[in-house]
Amino acid sequence: MTIWYGGDYNPEQWPREVWDEDVRLMNRGGITLATVGVFSWARLEPRPGEYDFGWLDEVLDLLHANGIRVDLASATASPPPWLAVRHPETLPVTEDGVRLSVGSRQQYCPSSPVYRERARELVTRLVERYAQHPALELWHVNNEYGCHVSRCYCDVSAAAFREWLAAKYGSIDELNRAWGTAFWSQRYDSFEEVMPPRTAPTFRNPTQLLDFDRFSSDELLACYRAEVEVIRARSDVRITTNFMGFFKPVDYWKWAQEVDVVSDDTYPDPADPMSPAYAAMVRDLMRSLGGGAPWLLMEQAPSAVNWRAQNAAKSPGQMRAWSYQSIARGADGVLFFQWRQSAAGSEKFHSGLVPHAGTDTRVWREVEQLGAELGALSERTGDDAIAGTRVPSSVAIALDWDSWWAVEQPASPTTVSYVEVLFAWHRALSSLGLAVDFVRAQDDLSGYRVVVAPAHFVITDAQAANLASFAERGGTLVVGFSSGITDEHLHIRLGGYLGEPLRAALGVWIEEFAPPAAPDLRATGGQAPPPVPLTGELLGDDAFGVVWSEAVRVEDAEILARFGGGALEEWPAVTRRTVGGGRGWYVATLPEHGALRRLVERVVTDAGVDVLPVAASGANVECVRRGRSLFVINHGPDEARIDVDGMDILTGRAAMGLVLPPQGVAIVGS
Ligand code: GLA
């Protein structure tokens, strides 16, 4: 089965004669899939209603003649300037009332009926023309929904928000109740009075903010759906739209149900040593969004990007190593932005598979090498296949967009970065060689032995009941601080945080927050609070908690670690309750990495989960099982020795103890 290899192909940026060289080089590089037309609207419809498809016909035919499949974009990600000139109301407005201009990209209000109509019209033409094209492999709807403009505060959006609210609440009284508008004289007498949360004198209503987050994600999804409807009516080819990892503005759980294949764009910073660990978490999310099905890495950079303050080039072998990381974690394709590095425009300093300097370059040689390898791996079939196989996992982390939106709202006890908290847990678990799935607290969790719910700030009754029953039925539930604080309307769960039934399952409740406070914030320059010592054999010596601490009241649980200083000295920090065959852990702080790793090791071994012994090879060595293969990747700066036997599929050599250079990869068959 094919492991796709390719990238965004923008031939409209180049004269015709370059196209022939493009396909020649694509064949040399082992390219099998090209994403075409992502930013082609202005070229495809130069004037309203006047279409020019001739050039795209030629591009698709040329790719087909050269055996390259096409991921055809719907081209709606960036409307042409004429749309804004004729319909200025299609331009999005910021919360401060600034109307954004043309001359960049993605300048459309997601709620604009005019934008949606023009987009549908273009997509209709495209699908009518290319649905039967023999090169067509995949439809690529829009591009990175919400990347630059994830919400719009204009009058059109305001009207759409009111409609969304009316459908949700049914009456203004219900909205008033849900939003708690008895506070600060915010009561609305009718939906007409309700506004999007535009810039206001001080804190805006928290539930209004949360509903606007939900609404904005839904509005983008409505844009996606409008295009999908057009495509599905005329084509059986699979449809995707490219996600962006942990992207706060868009609730990908909802979206993932509507794509045929999950695809993702990820640009880890080569200069950040934490990038491989963070990227591992992103890949695990993508696999999980599709319910474990293979996904596509739709975009990554061949080397440097151009949008950071400092744009580090990837080190030799890093592009390959990170590509294999995606495959190890379930991807059936590795694609890039973009094929040929642009000569003009805002992205001319973003790397391409064909660099400015041409093919006598390190980047191109690495492109050819990886293409050849993926071509060989694609030949593997049956039990030996890699593409199409699954990544087994018995450990999951609950991820909840409502909690993400809510826990980071202003006027909260402290500033918690939701994704950083998830990352800490994921990193600790994956350092044991565990592939970690992401789930929703309301999902069927019976396939997992361990479920961790960190900072599940917002929790519905159904979610809390499902987590509790997971533990009661023999699972190991780990709940992290800042969980179970509010219901879905952001109303506090009174009578002790956590609320029923988690309180019963875990045998604890939370009396008060006590974020570790710096004695003098000026002394730390207003930076994060200092760590709090933690005591208890479980976490080892010199363990510390960071970010947060809570006063835990124990009703029926063992205390396995305590706060060893600060306002909560001697109070419980980690508790465990044994319920039937299951366990309920509560962790009232974020232990730093070493301590958290010890904690999760205990949690998973208690739960009977096998950790991969080779994972002990070193902090920089990543080990993941996919299907019958073990992927081993050395992300570190030094050579790594890994104690594993088997056949390295990449070299065809028997591996009796692997030695991997920096960025080295081995795929060990069973
Ligand atoms: C995103 C976009 C691409 C390009 C890259 C650059 O992923 O989809 O069009 O701008 O970023 O990194």
Residue nearest to atom 4 of ligand 1 (CA): 337
In a domain, 436, yes or no: yes
Condensed to tens digits (0 to 9), the pLDDT of residues 559-568 reads 999 999 988 9
Q: Which atom of ligand 1 is nearest to the CA of 38?
A: 9
User: Does residue 17 fall inside a structural domain?
Assistant: no
Do both 370 and 402 map to the same domain? no
User: Which residue's CA is the closest to the ligand 1 atom numbered 2?
Assistant: 144
Q: What is the reported pLDDT for 580?
A: 77
243 in a structural domain: no
Torsion angle (degrees, nearest 10) of CA 644, 647, 648, 654: 90
pLDDT of residue 361: 98
Per-residue pLDDT band at 616 (split at 50, 70, 90): low
CATH number for 648: 2.60.40.1180
Comparison of pLDDT for 607 and 653, the residue scoring more = 607
Would you say the CB of residue 144 lies under 6 angstroms from ligand 1?
Answer: yes
Residues for the chain: how many in total?
Answer: 670
Residue whose C-alpha is closest to residue 150's, from 106, 197, 98: 106
Q: How far apart (Å, rounded) are the C-alpha atoms in residues 364 and 126?
A: 33
Tell which of 345, 378, 411 closes a domain: 378
Q: How many domains does the chain have?
A: 4
Q: Are residues 462 and 420 in the same domain?
A: yes
What pLDDT was estimated at residue 174?
A: 98
- Asked if 487 and 562 sit in the same domain, the reply is yes
Q: How far apart are CA 441 and CA 462, in angstroms?
A: 8
What's residue 399's pLDDT? 99
Is pLDDT at 522 greater than 60 in this prediction?
A: no
pLDDT score for 527: 57
Nearest protein CA to atom 11 of ligand 1, as residue: 337
Question: How confident is the model at residue 468, as a pLDDT?
Answer: 97
Percent residues over pLDDT 90 in the chain = 91
* Residue linked to tokens 């999005």: 92
Evaluate the CA torsion angle 491, 495, 500, 506 in order and state its sign.
Answer: positive
379 has catalytic annotation: no
Range of the domain at 200: 155-208
Q: For residue 444, give the CATH number of its domain.
A: 3.40.50.880
Distance 521 CA to ligand 1 centre (A): 39
**Model confidence, pTM:** 0.97
Task: Please identify which of the residues 45, 137, 219, 299 carries the catalytic annotation.
Answer: 299
Residue 374 identity: L
Res. 518 pLDDT band, cuts 50 70 90: very low
Helices 113-130 and 206-232, interaxial angle, to 10°? 30
- 397 alpha carbon – ligand 1 mean position (Å): 28
What radius of gyration, in Å, describes the C-alpha atoms of the chain?
A: 26
Residue 422 and residue 371 share a domain: no
Could you give the dihedral angle defined by the CA atoms of residues 87, 88, 90 and 94, in that order, rounded to the nearest 10 degrees? -170
Is 299 known to be catalytic?
Answer: yes
Query: In whole angstroms, what is the distance from residue 163 CA to residue 252 CA?
Result: 23
What are 571's two structure tokens? 């109070």
476 plus 578 within the same structural domain: yes
Quickly count helices (H) and strands (E) in the chain.
17, 26
| Domain match, 332 and 195 both | no
In a domain, residue 99? The reply is no
Q: Tell me the average pLDDT across 221-242.
A: 98
Claim to verify: residue 425 and residue 465 sit in the same structural domain: yes
DSSP state of 56: H
Lowest mean pLDDT among 10-19, 295-304, 661-670: 661-670
Q: Say whether both 594 and 652 belong to one domain.
A: no
Q: Are residues 360 and 419 part of one domain?
A: no
Closest by alpha carbon to 128, among 86, 72, 55, 87? 72
Helix (H, G, I), strand (E, B) or coil at 579: strand
Q: What is the mean pLDDT of residues 183-189?
A: 98
- Per residue in 42-59, pLDDT (tens digit) is 999 999 999 999 999 999
Distance, CA of 231 to CA of 174 (rounded, Å): 38
350 Cβ closer than 6 Å to some ligand 1 atom: yes
Q: Are residues 484 and 581 in the same domain?
A: yes
Q: Is residue 60 part of a domain?
A: no
Cβ partners under 8 Å of residue 196, min gap 6: 95, 151, 153, 157, 158, 161, 212
Average pLDDT over residues 254-270: 98
Q: Report whether 534 contacts 594 (CB < 8 A).
A: no
Q: Is residue 203 part of a domain?
A: yes
Average pLDDT for 220-247: 98
Cβ neighbors of 343 (< 8 A, separation 6 or more) are 13, 356
Instruction: Identify which of 105, 142, 265, 340 to mutate to test ligand 1's pocket (most ligand atoms within 8 A of the CB).
Output: 265
Q: Which of 322, 351, 378 is the last residue of a domain?
A: 378
Q: What is the mean pLDDT of residues 264-278?
A: 97
What tens digit of pLDDT does each residue of 434-469 get?
A: 999 999 999 999 999 999 999 999 999 999 999 999
Q: Which residue has the tokens 């064949």?
A: 27
The pLDDT of residue 519 is: 47
Question: Taking CA 633 as the corner, what is the angle to CA 310 and CA 398, rounded to the nearest 5 degrees?
Answer: 80
Q: What is the DSSP letter of 356?
A: T
- pLDDT at position 420 over 90: yes
Q: Residue of the nearest CA to atom 9 in ligand 1?
A: 337
Sort strands 590-591 and 543-546 into parallel, antiparallel or unpaired. Answer: antiparallel
Burial of 551 (0-12, 13-18, 19+ CB in 10 A): middle
Residue 635: CB atoms within 10 Å: 24
CA atoms within 13 A on the CB side of 238: 13
The structure tokens listed for 592 are 């730093």
Catalytic residue from among 45, 137, 144, 219: 144
Ligand 1 contact, 305 CB (< 6 A):
yes
Find out whether the beta carbon of 143 lies less than 6 Å from any atom of ligand 1: yes
Indicate whether 574 and 468 sit together in one domain. Answer: yes
Q: Are residues 413 and 512 in the same domain?
A: yes
- Is 419 a residue whose pLDDT tops 70? yes
Nearest CA to ligand 1 atom 7: 265
Q: Can you tell me the mean pLDDT for 111-132?
A: 98
Domain assignment present for residue 458? The answer is yes
- Averaged confidence pLDDT in the chain: 95
DSSP element (H, E) containing 549: none
CB of 226 closer than 8 Å to CB of 120: yes
Does 24 map to a domain? no
Query: Ligand 1 centroid vs 317 CA: distance in angstroms?
Result: 22
* End position of a domain, from candidates 164, 187, 208: 208
**In the predicted structure, residue 662 carries a pLDDT above the cut 50:** yes
Strand ranges inside 431-518, DSSP E: 436-439, 450-453, 476-480, 508-513
Residue pair 91/99 in contact (Cβ under 8 Å)? The answer is yes
How much distance in Å is there from the Cα of 245 to the middle of ligand 1?
Answer: 13
- Give per-residue pLDDT as tens, 309-339: 999 999 999 999 999 999 999 999 999 999 9
